[in-house]
Amino acid sequence: MSYFDAASSAPLHPVARQALLAALDEGWADPSRLYREGRRARLLLDAAREAAAEAVGCRPDELVFTSSGTQAVHAGIAGAVAGRRRVGRHLIVSAVEHSSVLHSAELFDVTEVPVGRTGAVSPQAYVDALRPDTALACLQSANHEVGTVQPVGEVAEVCREAGVPLLVDAAQSLGWGPVEEPWSLLTGSAHKWGGPSGVGLLAVRKGVRFSPQGPADERESGRAAGFENLPAIVAAAASLRAVRAEAAQEAGRLRELTERIRARVPQLVADVEVVGDPERRLPGIVTFSCLYVDGETLLHELDREGFSVSSGSSCTSSTLTPSHVLKAMGVLSEGNVRVSLPFGAVSEEVDRFLEVLPGAVARVREKLGAPTPAVVAGEDALVVDALGKRCPIPVIELAKVIGDVPVGGTVRVLSDDEAARLDIPAWCEMREQEYVGEEPADQGSAYVVRRVS
């Protein structure tokens, strides 16, 4: 089985396993106690904090460990906004942030900064979003779904000039290297770099106004309540140091493998859109979307072939709407596949993935090719009734009839599937047809497409 979903959770690094087992024997006591076992636990905790702080690029007393990366984000946002409550409760976030950031932002007055088609923000957009009552700005270091690296340094400078702290969600990139300065707060998650799950970190620079929320607790400077999971913390810090030592060599190797996938997939499979920035991207992530393919079915096909991948498609068991990242980028969401290679992934596994992918896509397309479009001829248009049908059926039915109208004629696709709002315009761009726009309909919406060629 080839595990290609490291962006969701990386396999436990061997160093993490060794450190975890050792710390279970040595670090079980309360590090706040003064007797021998407590002092030994405190030494382990301090050493882990120093190692993590060195990797992050901050002082040890600026970093605390939390129970998860999500908890670090929630605590960081809540504490930073509370610390600047006299300024206001306005937040700036990008439209492609991790859900933990977006859910936290819902509690405040929030401005979402749009992204371009590659998934990157413009620093000027953050300038335009700043207000006198802006308490905090948030920006991920790199996107978790498409791998695009964000211009954190430029945005951080913009925020510093305006006197607004910037919180950086560095979960996806921290294993590859430190984040561009001058950030104010930073969060990370150990299971993203090969550490154990259940450990996050939150760094708050000295001088940043911060007021921890929730009941007071003496642990972790009052910023993370509860008894520290010391063995997991030790393993998280040890694995972060280990992956950093391997990062430069692994980055070059994995980048070559993902570039192979980016180049070969469009050659092997027709009607594919590779998404994300082709240059400014994390080494191990490559994402593409396939027309006329149900994402969940394709993932099952690839799983049967021995590959574990993930999807941002709307057609997955966990959601009925397209990925907010793909939606914000304005790219095709149907048949979406994210390949995220773990440290140590080998060339032979990638080659075998490229061998089985065309057959898997073909089988899914064959299964979905059966529905017959309900077509009604109008005076100057065809109307395709795709109401009640989920992605990618509306796009498949559009593709079947576009050739039945003359050049300059239009096709109206009736659909009540949220994904159609994204996938039909994306199909038009890929097939060089004109997307006229969306119109209200008795049920759902009518998506109007004009035949250009």
Q: Which residues on neighbouring strands pair with residue 199, listed in sequence order?
A: none
CB of 328 within 8 A of CB of 95?
A: yes
CA–CA gap between residue 112 and residue 96 (Å, rounded): 9
Write out the DSSP string of 90-124: EEEEETT--HHHHHHHTTSEEEEEP--TTSPPPHH
Taking the chain, what is the end-to-end CA distance rounded to the nearest angstrom?
44
User: 58, 138, 159, 315: which one is catalytic?
Assistant: 315
How distant is the alpha carbon of residue 231 from its chain centre?
28
Alpha carbons 453 and 362: distance in angstroms, whole number: 26
Helices (H), 305-392: 324-329, 347-368
Amino acid at 233: I
Across the chain, which distance is largest between two alpha carbons, in Å? 88
**391 has catalytic annotation:** no
CB 168 within 8 A of CB 141: yes
Which residues neighbour 149 within 8 Å (Cβ) at sequence distance 6 or greater? 120, 141, 142, 173, 277, 280, 281, 282
Tokens 């002082």 sit on residue: 59
- Non-local (6+) Cβ contacts of 249 within 8 A are none
- The residues annotated as belonging to the active site are 315
